[in-house]
Structure 1
Amino acid sequence: MNIKHILHELRLLFGFERNTTSHGEKWISAIGAMLGILSVYWITRWQFPHGFMENAGTLVMVTSMGASAVLLFAVPQGALSQPWAVIGGHLLSAFVGVSCQKLFPDQTWTPALAVGLAVGVMHYTRCIHPPGGATSLAAVIGGSEVHLLGYHYLIMPILVNVIAILLMAVLFNALFDWRRYPAHLHKRIRQSKQTQPAERQFELTQEDFAAAMQQLNSYVDITAENLTELLELAKQHAEKNITHPADIIPGNFYSNGKLGKLWSVRQVLDGSDDGVIPEKDRVIYKVLAGDGAYQTGICLRSEFRQWARFEVKPQGNGRWVKIEAE
């Protein structure tokens, strides 16, 4: 087992995914998050210029807004980032946290109870928003300043903070048509640009997709609309080239075109010169990505051609792009 294979396994074990986001998009997310937090601070101070409870200190915003900023400006199309998730996640979690503190004050297990119940409530009300856990926790461990607010904690600072950051998310992401927020606005723009799918022998339906999601039994941070749209675009792209490569050329890269764990990219390292006798015409290859990464093998050229769906080329950041047949 070589070092590259070990590193590959460690990457998969820790869930260290290759990031295909452009540098521009990363900077847009960072600037948006900065403006989001600024809007929370200034709008809250504008609404309450004298702060709350000046004798006990000023509570302007909760730290969980920082986590919300990551979702709203780095993953604006994610299911965890949508308005109901943000509003319900924070407000319901805040209610749970305040209630737990009132019912079981100063207990060592009260913070854990608050977060656990908040997660359950968010699940059942379909508003999973990870920062909501921090909002619930802050209601318990925030100290006397927060405890004295009682249920007013839901209004100030939580509701005011939420409104402020949502307003900035809508306005800032509207500057970029591929980031429109909420996600439904982005979908409406894409509808006018979509092409009609080609005729297929077996057509996946929304019902098939819903059944697969139920079988997965895990919360996925992407809206159902965006996920089905992504699947449709992938199927349309796959239909552009359904034949196997005509030639298997040493030095070139080939993909089997499969999904998930079965996907693989191989590079042909060398081949025999005997193209007359098929039984002796072999190629040596190395697996560069996906299933069996960093392994080498040898097989008949005809077998390799049958395995290969199409030719690809490296695009950087671990991406592989299909080379369209001429």
Structure 2
Amino acid sequence: MRVKHALHELRLLFGIERNTTNHGEKFISALGACLGILAVYWGTRWSFPDGFMHTAGTLIMVTSMGATAVLLFAVPQGALSQPWAVIGGHMLSAFVGVSCHQLFPDQTWTAALAVGLAVGVMHYSRCMHPPGGATALAAVIGGAEIYRLEYWYLVFPILINVVSIMVMAIVFNAFFSWRRYPAHLVRRKISKPAVASERQFELTQEDFSAAMEQLNSYVDITSENLTQLLELAKQHAEKNITHPEQIIAGHFYSNGKLGNLWSVRQVVDAADNAIASKDQVIYKVVAGDGGYATGICLRSEFQRWARYEVKPQANGHWKKLTDED
């Protein structure tokens, strides 16, 4: 028993996840990565059959495309694999790498500076893509052939490589409904939720957003992090499970659902009417399901729909308002 426990702790320490994918999914990932790299090679070769500028035609792709292939074809639904992460991650990192080499050539610390700055830029640009670090590094240590390109390095080979592998990712993954790329194109069936009265509380979209901020790490995500995230979300859900008593014009309200069912409405007009059948609310959907649609309903119907009031945050998330707010 002690040995089994020790092995379990060792697995957790090294971050060895139990792989739940079947053999078919593993084969699809491997085949996709193979086709992705072929697309990069032939896409770049076809675009510039005689090389580019002063290159001899031998510079076809950067090695960071291998890591991108892993993400696009093995983890196509991951946050690090989405289009802006791939495009922005590579292009911005390439710019950082070339700039560092231009400003600080032949310095032992230039490569480290390029990778560090690339990570920072990707963080602030919301396009975190690990292979971008290798793209920045290649601009500094890639040798004379890359140095001669200067900022054209962003076009050849980076942009051509990125476009080629992304086109293949879109086309290849389109054949498999559960892994279409980008992730926004995937529409999973949502099972009917349990009756609200049977639950002590119900997790909501805003709870997960708040929990992710509280976790304070870039999530892509391990089972341990997901468990911690779920626990934090539960704590947020327990704070407020009542419907709003007042519906106020100009304020925002959420239905508290998850995934594609989540929605936020802003009340446009909510003038009180003594006659219940005429006490109506005009609203517009500002986020989530039915985005930017407008509607009108009875105040009582809107109160039943609304779980709680929310307010927009600068980072694009929505925060659930509590009594303290």
TM-score (norm 1): 0.65
Specify the alignment match of 1:28 in structure 2: 28
Structure number with greater Rg is 1
Deviates more, 1:197-206 or 1:83-92: 197-206
State the Cα distance separating 1:3 from its structure 2 match. 2.0
Specify the alignment match of 1:115 in structure 2: 115
Alpha-carbon spacing, 1:42–1:57, altered in 2? closer, same or farther (3 Å): closer
Alpha-carbon separation, structure 1, partners of 2:89 and 2:138: 14
Deviations along 1:186-235, whole A, 9 cap, x unmatched? 1xx22xx323322224222222211111110011116xxxx9xxx8xxx9
Report SS of the residue matched to 2:149. helix
Alpha-carbon separation, structure 2, partners of 1:49 and 1:125: 34
Deviations along 1:232-289, whole A, 9 cap, x unmatched? xxx9xxxxxxxxxxxxxxxxxxxxxxxxxxxxxxxxxxxxxxxxxxxxxxxxxxxxxx
Q: Which structure 2 residues correspond to residues 170-185 of structure 1 after superposition, within 5 A? A: 170-185=170-185
Specify the alignment match of 1:216 in structure 2: 215
Instruction: Output the amino acid matched with 2:191.
Output: T
State the Cα distance separating 1:67 from its structure 2 match. 0.3
Specify the alignment match of 2:317 in structure 1: none
- 1:136 and 2:136 are equivalent in the alignment: yes
Report SS of the residue matched to 2:18. coil
Specify the alignment match of 1:198 in structure 2: 194
Q: Which structure 2 residues correspond to residues 64-143 of structure 1 after superposition, within 5 A? A: 64-143=64-143
- 1:153 and 2:153 are equivalent in the alignment: yes
Assess if the C-alpha contact under 8 Å between 1:57 and 1:145 holds in 2. no
Alpha-carbon separation, structure 1, partners of 2:85 and 2:173: 17
State the Cα distance separating 1:57 from its structure 2 match. 5.5
TM-score (norm 2): 0.65
Assess if the C-alpha contact under 8 Å between 1:39 and 1:165 holds in 2. yes
Assess if the C-alpha contact under 8 Å between 2:50 and 2:56 holds in 1. no
Alpha-carbon separation, structure 2, partners of 1:51 and 1:39: 17
State the Cα distance separating 1:52 from its structure 2 match. 2.5
Specify the alignment match of 1:37 in structure 2: 37
Alpha-carbon spacing, 1:211–1:43, altered in 2? closer, same or farther (3 Å): same
Instruction: Output the amino acid matched with 2:218.
Output: Y
Aligned residues: 222
Instruction: Output the amino acid matched with 2:49.
Output: P
Alpha-carbon separation, structure 2, partners of 1:147 and 1:91: 16
Alpha-carbon separation, structure 1, partners of 2:183 and 2:147: 36
Alpha-carbon separation, structure 2, partners of 1:161 and 1:127: 17
State the Cα distance separating 1:55 from its structure 2 match. 6.3
Instruction: Output the amino acid matched with 1:13.
Output: L
CA RMSD, Structure 1 to Structure 2 (Å): 1.9
Alpha-carbon separation, structure 2, partners of 1:31 and 1:24: 11
Alpha-carbon separation, structure 2, partners of 1:118 and 1:221: 19
State the Cα distance separating 1:54 from its structure 2 match. 6.2
Alpha-carbon separation, structure 2, partners of 1:55 and 1:32: 29
Alpha-carbon separation, structure 1, partners of 2:55 and 2:117: 32
Report SS of the residue matched to 1:73. helix
Instruction: Output the amino acid matched with 1:71.
Output: L
- Consecutive unaligned residues of structure 2, counting only runs of 5 or more, are 235-325
State the Cα distance separating 1:120 from its structure 2 match. 0.1
Assess if the C-alpha contact under 8 Å between 1:52 and 1:58 holds in 2. no
Alpha-carbon separation, structure 2, partners of 1:206 and 1:105: 48
Instruction: Output the amino acid matched with 2:195.
Output: E
Deviates more, 1:3-12 or 1:50-59: 50-59
Alpha-carbon separation, structure 2, partners of 1:80 and 1:106: 32
Assess if the C-alpha contact under 8 Å between 2:53 and 2:149 holds in 1. no
Assess if the C-alpha contact under 8 Å between 2:55 and 2:145 holds in 1. no
Higher RCO by CA contacts (8 Å cutoff, separation 6 or greater)? 1
Instruction: Output the amino acid matched with 1:196.
Output: K
Assess if the C-alpha contact under 8 Å between 2:114 and 2:136 holds in 1. yes
Specify the alignment match of 1:324 in structure 2: none
Deviations along 1:150-203, whole A, 9 cap, x unmatched? 0000000000000000000000000100110000001xx22xx32332222422
Alpha-carbon separation, structure 1, partners of 2:7 and 2:206: 39
Alpha-carbon separation, structure 1, partners of 2:172 and 2:55: 36
4+ aligned runs moved over 4 Å, structure 1: 53-57
